[in-house]
Structure 1
Amino acid sequence: MTPMEKIRKLRESGNFHFTKSLGQNFLTDENILDKLVRAAGITEDDAVIEIGPGAGIVTEKLLQAAGPVLAVEIDKALIPFLQETLEPYPNFTLWHQDVLKAPLCQWIQENSPEQPVKIVANLPYYVTTPIVMKLLEENLPIHSMVLMVQKEVALRMAAKPGTKDYGALSVAVQLYSQVEKAFDVSPNVFIPKPKVGSAVVKLTIHEKPPVQLDHPELFFTLVKAAFGQRRKTLSNALSHLRPKEEKQQILQVLEAASIDPVRRGETLNIQEFATLSQLWQKQFFHDTMEAHKKSERVERK
């Protein structure tokens, strides 16, 4: 069954309607589907988790190429169709869950206890970052992730220091993985057609992180502050984390880190952020984290 035939069958079932709030856009191009699976490097020895199988178009390709495959789908209207059309595959498992709450580690332990799994996903654009960061920060045994995302997000993930796309997301993703933008995808190969271009990006998880962080929470607090107001110099961008009278101490920390205070956050690489974090921790750690928590409480109100 071709992708278009599968989508037609799904729509004719009368139980499914595209839900804009879930960001549903189904791939229809066989060539793109094949490129996606090739980019993931799937073999029969691999266990795969697919996030958002939709009509099962990518899922079927994965089931034909991989070992055990777990598909995690949030839309209950798609569950009967996926169960019916993919039931012939003995290596198929389907969860009706929000991936942000799904116990992925449990499935991994049961199905791939001795080697990392591969993630494949056509992610809803509105929730791309939370899903990616959950997968990275939970320290799951993942080998790599091949993700269909908004083109702009792919550029930000892969961006280098000093470029316009480089930001907090770039630092966060590159801290955990090597990022490679695989290929662009036209809006014309989706139903419904999205208003923006897409791209496939591959994240290969580092065996050893590029920097060692004693206090990751502080590291990310400083990264977010540095990029919070891109036009500000680093010393000014970080100053809201400390009382005004401590500006001189901030300058001293930057000097100790060999970072010119007039630089902007977008010019710092991960190693420089890590060095800054280490020195900042020695000088300010307790008060900085208290200020950060207070700021978060205010934002939630």
Structure 2
Amino acid sequence: MNTRPPHQAKKRFGQNFLHDPGVIQRIIDCINPKPDQHLVEIGPGQGAITRELLKRTNRLDAVELDRDLIHPLAVSCADLGELNIYNSDALKFDFSSLATDGRPLRLVGNLPYNISTPILFHLLQYASCIHDMHFMLQKEVVDRMAAGPGSKTYGRLSVMMQAWCDIEALFEIGPGAFKPAPKVDSAIVRLTPYREPPHPIEDPACFARLVTSAFAQRRKTLRNSLGKLMDAKQISAAGIDPTLRAERLSLGDFVRLANLACKTTP
């Protein structure tokens, strides 16, 4: 007899477990996993998506921080295929270590909402070995990622994600699909890293610094927010008005600024 008490969601890990069968099936249909693909799930939790992925692929890697979930997950998936669970923090995990068989990774996950943005930025450094990513996130985060210039939600996350990935918001999910129910709406997003970015970035680190500086104080003009990286004359040389605020610039504008700044900034 199994006397193990039911797992209690841990707030410090941002755990909200998906349980709605209809939503789970819709997510799997969007991912459309195949047996010859290399699937990696971040935060499998109690295995709602994990089991369905294994039924389609027979093999799956998973990165799970909560060690209390690992044994129950392994037991519940034992007859469905090969599940390799890495007890690790996704924010520190080297995802390139999984891409050793020549197959690009397909990442899937219900990301903890309290650290989803840092995880997304961490994953960008592995874009070259990732085919696509399907994540459940707070709807607000998906809206910010997909936002365009001039929008109130357009910011650093928008520019950084759009620079490296094609972004497709797929569908929204209400709180009732989870236990415990979060206080926000959720959404599924598909991120597909560009093999050739639409706007080639010469120095990714310089680009990241410039975008961060530009949005650090949204009400400042570029002349002021970028003062430590380039002066008004250099901003104008990139074809951009230095009296504009960052929220008015397109991705292409940011790339032009960064490509110019990295040539003049040590």
TM range (shorter): over 0.9
RMSD of Structure 2 on Structure 1 (CA): 1.8
Deviation for aligned residue 1:115 = 2.6
Q: Deviations over 1:171-220 (max 9, x none)?
A: 11111110011111100110001111111111011111122222222111
- Write the letter of the residue equivalent to 2:171: F
2:110 is equivalent to residue 122 of structure 1: yes
Confirm or deny: 8 A CA contact 1:158 1:179 kept in the other structure: yes
- Write the letter of the residue equivalent to 1:276: L
- Write the letter of the residue equivalent to 1:106: S
- Write the letter of the residue equivalent to 1:265: A
Aligned mate of 1:135, from 116, 119, 123: 123
Aligned mate of 2:231, from 247, 250, 254: 250
Aligned mate of 1:58, from 35, 49, 56: 49
The structure with the largest helix share of the pair is 1
Confirm or deny: 8 A CA contact 2:107 2:132 kept in the other structure: yes
Aligned mate of 2:257, from 271, 276, 279: 276
Confirm or deny: 8 A CA contact 1:60 1:86 kept in the other structure: yes
Confirm or deny: 8 A CA contact 1:125 1:149 kept in the other structure: yes
Largest Rg, 1 or 2: 1
2:161 is equivalent to residue 173 of structure 1: yes
Confirm or deny: 8 A CA contact 1:185 1:197 kept in the other structure: yes
1:233 match: 221
Confirm or deny: 8 A CA contact 1:154 1:181 kept in the other structure: yes
Deviation for aligned residue 1:121 = 0.3
2:71 match: 80
Between the aligned partners of 2:255 and 2:186, the Cα distance in structure 1 is 32
TM-score by length of 2: 0.94
Between the aligned partners of 1:132 and 1:178, the Cα distance in structure 2 is 14
SS for the counterpart of 2:115 is helix
1:97 match: 88
Aligned mate of 2:5, from 2, 6, 14: 14
Confirm or deny: 8 A CA contact 2:127 2:193 kept in the other structure: no
2:98 match: 107
Between the aligned partners of 1:16 and 1:31, the Cα distance in structure 2 is 23
Q: Which runs of 5+ in 1 are unaligned?
A: 1-8, 243-248, 287-301
Identity %: 38
SS for the counterpart of 2:114 is helix
- Go from structure 1 to structure 2 and tell me whether the alpha carbon gap of 1:269 and 1:25 turns closer, same or farther (over 3 Å shift): same
Deviation for aligned residue 1:141 = 1.0
After TM superposition, the structure 1 = structure 2 runs for residues 180-191 of structure 1, keeping only pairs within 5 Å, are 180-191=168-179
Confirm or deny: 8 A CA contact 2:34 2:56 kept in the other structure: yes
- Write the letter of the residue equivalent to 1:224: T
Between the aligned partners of 2:175 and 2:73, the Cα distance in structure 1 is 24
Q: Which runs of 5+ in 2 are unaligned?
A: none
